[in-house]
Amino acid sequence: MFIVESYGLAVAFCCVSMLCWGSWANTQKLAAKSWRYELFYWDYAIGTFLLALLGAFTLGSFGTEGRSFLEDVAQANGSGILLLLLAGTIFNISNIMLAASTSIAGMAVAFPLGVGTALVVGVVGNYIVAASEGARTGNIPLLAAGVLLVGAAIVLNGLAAGKRAALGSQAEAKAGGDEASGQAAGSALGKGVLLAILSGIIMSVPSIFTVKAMDTSNFAAPAPGRVTPYTAVVFYTLGIVLSNLIFNTLMMRRPISGEPVSYRDYFKDRLGTHLVGVLGGSIWCLASLLNYISAEKAGPAVSYALGQGAPIIAAVWGVFIWKEFKGAGRGVSRMLAAMFCFFIGGLALIVAAGR
């Protein structure tokens, strides 16, 4: 199987995973004109599993180093497989909660809060697990400083989004809105913020389970019963697909907003719309696969932290491509400029921590 041999390549892969994790939601935005999120999410889940299988039977099986995918599955510990399925299930819960938060509070609020919380909790959890098992952990002072800077960037992003929303509310009030509608909007925003934070806390858990199922210190010759990253991603995404039968079905029948949708609605749209969702899931899974195979050389905490910088990438798309902050004023522009500076500085410290 393919194994990352250098720290530099591991960091490069982590950065690509960050870009992909921060970009896959563009496919949801493209499909949103005719495709409800609940229906899009089915194609997204299928796309994650298909890409995972492709990676397992190509990069995970070719070459002379390590075990092939099927050999790895044959020797895997049953408890480790269950951990991976559970990790995928928990991630699916958190991702659906994040989607609910997005539908209420918007992406610019939900993603920084949700994934930012996951970054802080997840890096600490990954560090503790890796340290207890003798895996690579990196320089903890530099890692902590980097996480703090990235966290500050995420907070600035949220503040800028909140200020932009406030300006929009003021404009609506001047146009004839009433106090009751303003209070209702504030209550909805609070609910969205709470969902995002809960999503982030839950989202930090799966990475700890995957680290326990893999041998992150030696991918070429993992400990007996432990699996390679390629096997881990396959069972992780299988957990997403299987749990989707329960969680996304509930979302279809009791949506956060709008009317309920059915499986009949899913089969009504054209093939191109379905392929957009599959592409979104494939992009997310590619990010996960690259992040996992980089964990041995970069360390689980560093690879996780770099990958969870994705909300800032999403902010780049929103600010410069989709123009979501257009007309928000100079104060918001300064916040966004400071956000990007903190983000770049934080990433530099995280990369240095791994050395």
Which tens digit of pLDDT belongs to each residue from 329-355? 888 889 989 988 998 888 788 778 866
Alpha carbon 210 to chain centroid, angstroms: 15
Average pLDDT of the segment spanning 7-34: 88
What is the four-CA torsion angle of 309, 313, 315, 321, rounded to 10 degrees? 180
Average pLDDT of the segment spanning 130-159: 80
As a whole number of angstroms, the distance between CA 330 and CA 307 comes to 30
As a whole number of angstroms, the distance between CA 138 and CA 298 comes to 8
pTM score, two decimals? 0.86
Q: Which helix (H) or strand (E) holds 218?
A: none
Q: Could you say which DSSP state residue 227 is in?
A: B
Q: How far is CA 310 from CA 221, 292, 325, in A?
A: 31, 16, 18
As a whole number of angstroms, the distance between CA 273 and CA 280 comes to 11
Cβ contacts of residue 39 below 8 Å, gap of 6+?
Answer: 252, 261, 265, 266, 269, 277
For 214, list phi and psi in degrees, rounded to 5. Answer: -100, 160
Task: Kindly tell me if the per-residue pLDDT of 180 is higher than 70.
Answer: no
As a whole number of angstroms, the distance between CA 297 and CA 107 comes to 33
pLDDT, the chain, mean: 85
Average pLDDT of the segment spanning 125-132: 71
Structure tokens of 172?
A: 């609506």
Average pLDDT of the segment spanning 100-123: 75
pLDDT band at 122 (very low <50, low <70, confident <90, very high): confident
- What's the chain's length in residues? 355
Least confident of 5-14, 134-143, 145-154: 134-143
The amino acid at 238: L
pLDDT band at 272 (very low <50, low <70, confident <90, very high): very high
Q: What is the pLDDT of residue 187?
A: 61
> Greater confidence, 35 or 2?
2
Q: What is the pLDDT of residue 263?
A: 94
Structure tokens of 54?
A: 């492709």
Average pLDDT of the segment spanning 260-282: 93
Structure tokens of 252?
A: 């279809």
Q: What is the pLDDT of residue 133?
A: 67
Q: What is the pLDDT of residue 153?
A: 84
Q: What is the pLDDT of residue 279?
A: 97
Write out the E strands in 3-48: none
Q: What is the pLDDT of residue 121?
A: 80
Residues 289-342 have pLDDT tens digits of 999 999 888 876 677 777 777 888 887 887 888 777 777 788 888 998 998 899
CA end-to-end span of the chain: 25
Q: What is the pLDDT of residue 348?
A: 82
Q: What is the pLDDT of residue 86?
A: 97
pLDDT band at 171 (very low <50, low <70, confident <90, very high): low
Q: What is the pLDDT of residue 129?
A: 67
Residue 227, beta-bridge partner list: 214
Rounded percentage of the chain residues whose pLDDT exceeds 70 = 88
> Greater confidence, 63 or 10?
10
Task: Kindly tell me if the per-residue pLDDT of 174 is higher than 60.
Answer: yes
Task: Kindly tell me if the per-residue pLDDT of 248 is higher than 90.
Answer: yes
Q: What is the pLDDT of residue 163?
A: 81
Rounded percentage of the chain residues whose pLDDT exceeds 90 = 40
Q: What is the pLDDT of residue 293?
A: 93
Residues 61-104 have pLDDT tens digits of 998 888 999 999 999 999 999 999 999 999 999 988 887 777 67
Q: What is the pLDDT of residue 115?
A: 80
Alpha carbon 89 to chain centroid, angstroms: 14
Alpha carbon 29 to chain centroid, angstroms: 16
Q: What is the pLDDT of residue 116?
A: 75
Which of 39, 37, 155, 168 shows the shortest CA–CA distance to 101?
Answer: 37
- How many CB atoms sit inside 10 A of residue 258's CB? 10
